[in-house]
Amino acid sequence: MHISPEHPMLAAVVDDLATHGWSQQAHFLPADLVRALAAECRRRDAEGELNPAGVGRGATQEVRETIRGDQIQWIDPGQAEACDQYLAAMDQLRLAINQGLFLGLEDFECHFALYPPGAFYRRHLDRFRDDDRRMVSAVLYLNEGWQPHDGGQLRMFLADGVEHDVEPVAGCLVVFLSGEVPHEVLPAGRERLSLTGWFRRRGNDPF
């Protein structure tokens, strides 16, 4: 699947980031691709490829289920056709953001995230204290038939005390500035799937 850098939805994301620092697009990708991504996530889970996510990074990273309870696996090119299509779409978004906002984004890293029922992720920022390469966060949800009573909302803490909740409905993409938008994942009553990633600029990694 090819998305042109001039696609109106990409322009809308860039405009939202410039104006508000975040963007929500209800139908970012075709439904068949979203279903294929969800199936790939479940396949990896069934084969034991997902692992509990840690808090922190490098030598200080540890699993702390009182802070976050998701299970993840990082995505690399060439692993699955659906993943490659998603990475290609996100690269077009990277180019559009660079063209519009001059952020100097160099790459995109992402992983599948599976939250078992009851799992959550406490309020946090996506940028590490000792590494400011993560500039823009992007989350694509993969949950068909999701209902508000299922929970699992992404809650963003915006300016002036405003809270905005995003239902993790299949095909919805949320993009926000990594170092400026605190957020949390509320507990869900059913399994919750997403692709979570970050556009990064060049930087020095002490690890």
Rounded CA separation 80/41 (Å): 11
Q: Are 72 and 121 in contact (CB under 8 A)?
A: no
Phi, psi of 104 (to 5 degrees): 65, 40
* C-alpha distances out from residue 140 to 29, 120, 175, Å: 9, 17, 9
27 carries a ligand binding annotation = no
Decide: 82 and 41 in contact? Cβ < 8 Å.
Answer: no
Please, what is the angle between helix 81-101 and helix 8-19, to 10°? 50
The torsion defined by the Cα of 132, 186, 13 and 3, in degrees rounded to 10, comes to 100
Element (H, E) at 166: strand 163-166
Known binding residue 124? Answer is yes
Binding positions: 124, 126, 183
Binding positions for Mn(2+): 124, 126, 183
